[in-house]
Structure 1
């Protein structure tokens, strides 16, 4: 049975960034659940969700938060599933506060962290993790990478033509 991915955001204001991850996951036909949970305002719910995520069929949790950005760490503290943090640009520090809050985890509580507002890469990392035990996902990833490479080759050919015209 295919594993699901949970996409948890600390606030509904994060949706503008996070929906990119959901679109990416759905484009790979990965079952996805989306929730708003706060590390600070609903810590019991966040803890309960993470504690039961494996039994609920999840394989990866993606957590997006801005400012203090403790959500990914709180979720990671309550599960053995991989947790991927998306630091959200939500303050006057341009997301650097969220990046540092997400990436600087204590020993024993790892959180894989993508770039500030890096929702697409968070989804792709989740898909790569699931693809370790799902050949169909692995094949879709290989196809996507080949399409990206072909796009670069086409741009290279156009650039070569432009350079020749100079």
Structure 2
């Protein structure tokens, strides 16, 4: 495996299903990454050392799933020069809104880019990390443009299918919606 360019961090295995969306985006762009389970509460020294060494190990950004361990992204940001991208995860009774509020209100000195809650936020975090890499790896620009064009084509196809269905219904080929 190539040296990872992006670090993906979770604090517990139950966060992995959400962060797999970030992985899917990174894999789709051919971006090598590493994924780690780190805990600021149970293994703080390891967590801080990982953050401190991230840049020297060749990482360019860190994507952090923020579930039960809301301080994790802040601690990582405080101990690295790299951009930290937080993804609030809906694992608590507040469905991630607690994590979102915590990440959106960080103190001066440890900035965090905060995405939406859940899988869409994780996917956008992967895309944001890929965009950051475009500054050093210009070949990614075309990949990202193609990805966006694909999204546009999907919307156009859904729109055309919906219009065709509604025209069929209006011309007597089906029952109108209730």
TM-score by length of 2: 0.87
d(CA) in 2 for partners of 1:7, 1:14: 11
Distance 1:68 1:34, change over 3 A: closer
Structure 1 window deviating more from structure 2 (63-72 vs 114-123): it is: 63-72
> Which structure 2 residues correspond to residues 100-115 of structure 1 after superposition, within 5 A?
100-115=101-116
> 5+ unaligned residues in a row in structure 2: which ranges?
171-178
Aligned counterpart, 1:157: 160
**Aligned equivalents of 1:164, 1:22: Cα separation in 2:** 40
What residue number does 1:13 align with? 14
Question: Matches of residues 1-166 of structure 1 in structure 2 within 5 Å?
Answer: 4-117=5-118, 118-165=121-168, 166=170
Q: 1:3 to 1:59 in 2, by over 3 A?
A: farther
* CA deviation after TM superposition for structure 1 residue 156, in Å: 2.1
Q: Is the 8 A contact 2:11 2:69 kept in 1?
A: no
Q: Bigger radius of gyration, 1 or 2? A: 2
Cα distance, 1:68 vs structure 2: 4.5
- 1:46-74 residue CA offsets vs partner (Å, 9 max, x unmatched): 11111111110000101112135111110
Q: Secondary structure at the match of 1:58?
A: coil
**Paired residue total:** 166
Deviation at 1:162, TM superposition (A): 2.9
Under a length normalisation based on structure 1, what TM-score does the superposition of the two structures give?
Answer: 0.93
Q: Does the 8 Å CA contact 2:115/2:125 hold for their aligned counterparts?
A: yes
Is the 8 Å Cα contact of residues 68 and 97 (structure 1) preserved in structure 2? no
What's the Cα RMSD here?
Answer: 1.7
In 1, distance between residues paired with 2:35 and 2:129? 14
Runs of 4+ aligned structure 1 residues displaced above 6 Å come to none
**1:2 positional shift:** 8.1
